[in-house]
Amino acid sequence: MSAFLRLLRRASALPVLLASGALFALMVMTFCDVILRSAFNAPIEAATELTRILMAIIVFSVLPMVSARGHHIAVDLTDPFFHRVRAARLRDGMIHLLSGAMLYWPFDRLRVLAERQRSYGDVTEYLAIPQFYISWFIALAVALAGLAMLVVGVLTLIAPKLLRDAQ
């Protein structure tokens, strides 16, 4: 099992590389747009839609990894109480399980939206990129994040040592 976890850890570098590449492309595009707009009065026409697409890639490509590692923003107002009654592990496991299960609804809505975009032939304004590609990418990322949270929740409840060893 630890070999599988090591493989998953190495594979988690791929979404980070994708997000990093998208961020770099966004920076280069913004720089070029500012130079072209200022010096030649010729902005990049598709900059707005490219910015939207690249931002979606940046945010949603790392969502499953953030979910699996538990790096979401958390408010710890109740931590002292749960540590005192020794229920922190139960709380964490249940939160992961419920959050992972709740991500099914956004995944389902995104899936329906992506299929509707595909059937209508919706494309972006300037570059005519089919919009369902982006929607399916977001839906897949949300589904993977939900699955990751479910797995972390189950492991938190039944095999917490396995999670500690993986980190």
Q: Which helix (H) or strand (E) holds 154?
A: helix 131-158
Write the pLDDT tens digit of every residue in 9-43: 788 889 999 999 999 999 999 999 999 999 999 99
The structural domains of the chain, with segments of one domain joined by +, span 2-166
* Residue showing tokens 């492991």: 155
Q: How many residues does the chain have?
A: 167
Report d(CA 85, CA 96) in Å as an integer: 20
How far CA 6 is from CA of 1, 2, 59, 63, 93, in Å, comes to 9, 6, 24, 19, 22
> What pTM does this model have?
0.90
Beta bridge partners of 123: 130
